[in-house]
Amino acid sequence: MKTTTLDTFTAAKDIASWNRHRTSEELQSFVAHRLGVLATRTRDK
């Protein structure tokens, strides 16, 4: 399964939301986690 536009949009929206509330270090960790989840989901399907 490929990463869909919706997945990308959702991730971007989540990142934008987090960016307002979190420090940059937490944001980087969150982004890395989201990318890891998407990569895992893509690989497993």
12-44 residue pLDDT tens:
887 777 666 656 777 788 888 888 988 888 777
Distances in whole angstroms, Cα of residue 26 to Cα of each of 2, 4, 16, 42:
27, 25, 13, 24
Residue positions counted in the chain: 45
pLDDT for the residue numbered 25: 79
pTM of the model: 0.38
Please count the structural domains in the chain: 1
Domain span holding position 40: 5-44
Report d(CA 39, CA 44) in Å as an integer. 9
| Higher local confidence (pLDDT), 1 or 11 | 11
Average pLDDT over residues 3-13: 79
Q: Which residues contact 7 (CB under 8 A, 6 or more apart)?
A: 38, 41
Ranges of H-type helices in 1-45: 5-21, 24-44
Average pLDDT over residues 3-9: 77
- Residue 3 pLDDT level (bands cut at 50, 70, 90): low
